[in-house]
Amino acid sequence: MSALRARAEEYLAMRRALGFRLTTQGRHLMSFVRFCEERGADRVTADLAIEWATRTTRGSGDEVYQARRLDVARIFARHLQALDPATEIPPEDVLSRRYRRIPPYLYSPAEVAALMSAADGLEPAMRAATWRTLIGLLAVTGMRQGEACRLERDDIDLEAGTLVITGSKFGKSRQVFLHPSAVVALRAYERTRNRVFPEPGAGTFLVNSRGGPLDGHNIQHTFAVLIAAAGIHAPPGRRAPRLHDLRHTFTVATMLDWYRDGGDVQARLPLLSTWLGHVDPKSTYWYLQAVPELLALAAGRLERAVPGGEAAR
């Protein structure tokens, strides 16, 4: 093991002991360490860090993504410099940080139904049941896929029709209420799971075909298969549909319903932020400018509220 790799593993262990999960950051850091080892480098330099950050495995030319990769190397370099003064810390202004959120793919109700039907064709039957339940759960709650995969059995109270999310992205717990139809579907899944696996192989509510927890690395591959089977295609020039876009679809559908029923959307948005587990309400307000239909409804309401409409502006 190289000295740089040993330092990286010590650094990650220390940060995780402090409560940081470092799932993506840890993967990026070890990728950077491998990059340095392949070049025979025994310490971090700014040039190496920049070369690694901009030479992405998926060929992304997005400077925001590259800047985030560089942040991983920069923070590690700061830690190393206290141990080795010869360590170079990459400059902060070398890559653009102007954040551009890409508009999500929004599924229609028919497309969500098609995805669930496609899930029924998976083998074995337990895998099909899990995927049908996962898609339905994400579509009606707006949970993050990782939150759904980590749900423990005790986190779901089907008698009360609630679930508690404890392993959220930002470490905050929140309660989500379930529609009676969702409760019925989750009960049916629970019965199937308990019949197939009388002796629990995992404490998670959703399980894979062997009774263990869902593997986050395999989820995207399976979902790509379902997207193809459901015949769903993104418009030219747009991002391909993702499982995470079910969360965006839930959010937009909720806001559209609020506008259409004449409710006070501004007053309700903080509630939606809490429901989604957003730390910053700006993450929820973003949908107002990212989705044309929402923007049109908001603009229409503003015109009705301001006497004279266009003339008043």
Please write the tens of the pLDDT for every residue from 232-279. Answer: 998 887 778 999 999 989 988 888 888 888 777 778 888 888 888 877
- Select which of 7, 69, 74, 144 is catalytic: 144
- Select which of 16, 169, 191, 233 is catalytic: 169
* Domain span including residue 33: 3-81
- In this predicted structure, what is the pLDDT of residue 168? 64
Residue that finishes a domain, picked among 230, 255, 286: 230
127 & 223 share domain: yes
- Select which of 34, 43, 244, 301 is catalytic: 244
* Number of domains the chain is built from: 3
Q: Within a domain: residue 189?
A: yes
**The domain that contains 165 carries what CATH number?**
1.10.443.10
Residue that finishes a domain, picked among 230, 261, 293: 230
167 & 218 share domain: yes
122 & 187 share domain: yes
Please write the tens of the pLDDT for every residue from 87-144. Answer: 999 988 887 766 566 778 889 999 999 999 999 999 999 999 999 999 999 999 999 9
219 & 122 share domain: yes
247 among known catalytic residues: yes
170 & 113 share domain: yes
Beta strands in the chain (DSSP E): 156-157, 162-165, 174-177
Q: Does the global pTM surpass 0.75?
A: no
Considering only CA atoms, which of 154, 121, 148, 152 is closest in space to residue 135? 148
99 among known catalytic residues: no
215 & 253 share domain: no
169 among known catalytic residues: yes
278 among known catalytic residues: yes
DSSP 224-284: HHHHHHHT--PPTTSPPP-TTHHHHHHHHHHHHHHHHTT--HHHHHHHHHHHHT-SSTHHH
- Select which of 15, 74, 132, 247 is catalytic: 247
- In this predicted structure, what is the pLDDT of residue 256? 84
282 among known catalytic residues: no
